[in-house]
Amino acid sequence: MKKTNKSKNQTLLIFLILIGIFSLTINNISFAKKKNMERLKTMKKVRLLEYLDLNPSKSDKFLVKFNEYEQKHENISMEIRSNIDELRVVLEENPSKNTSIIKDNVGKLNKLHNDMMKLSQDEDNDMKTLLDEVEYAKYIVFKMGFRDMAMEKLEEYREKMRGGDDNSKRGAKRGW
């Protein structure tokens, strides 16, 4: 009987160690993602300031506004992702029994989308008052170009991680 208890204890210990290792791995992946996002944000700011070629005083004012809007955009994006995740769960469970929850989440998503559009308009208006015509034009060109470049790089990375271009795997996580 003691051998059985010892065996159970060893199995439990191994199991707990494996859970600990798995937990550390997940935390490291999450930390790496956050670190990469911070690097991307920093690179974006540096490249934008180089491209705009603002004087030091204007650069400081610009960065304050830019950081403020970036944070607001990020907050709304996080809310959108959270609502989409909730909606996905409800749709997978039993959508016909949860129509009121679905309606509420869709309403929240529409409101968040409108909030994001309003925030973008406010950002554009603030940047127009802060920057001159040429600087503002550069800002708009950079903003669109950087997003496109980042999306291209992300897609290249994803294809590399998939081992080629396998379109059948696209959207699999989302159930499409």
CA distances from 39 to 118, 157, 160 (A): 27, 16, 20
Per-domain boundaries in the chain: 1-30, 41-165
Q: What is the pLDDT of residues 35-81, one digit of tens each?
A: 777 887 888 888 899 899 999 999 999 999 999 999 999 999 999 99
Q: How many Cβ atoms from other residues are within 10 Å of residue 113's Cβ?
A: 12
- Considering the entire predicted model, what is its pTM? 0.66
Per DSSP, the chain holds a count of helices (H) and strands (E) of: 4, 0
Helix/strand/coil (H/E/C) assignment for every residue in 40-106: HHHHHHHHHHHHHCCCHHHHHHHHHHHHHHHHHHHHHHHHHHHHHHHHHHHHHHCHHHCHHHHHHHH
More confident residue, 67 or 161: 67
d(CA 51, CA 44) in angstroms, rounded, equals 10
CB atoms within 10 A of CB 123: 19
**Architecture of the domain defined by 41-165:** Up-down Bundle (1.20)
* Higher-confidence position of 106 and 149: 106
Helix axes 99-130, 56-93, angle to 10 degrees: 170
Give me the mean pLDDT over the 78-93 stretch: 89
Dihedral of alpha carbons 43, 120, 133, 60, sign: negative
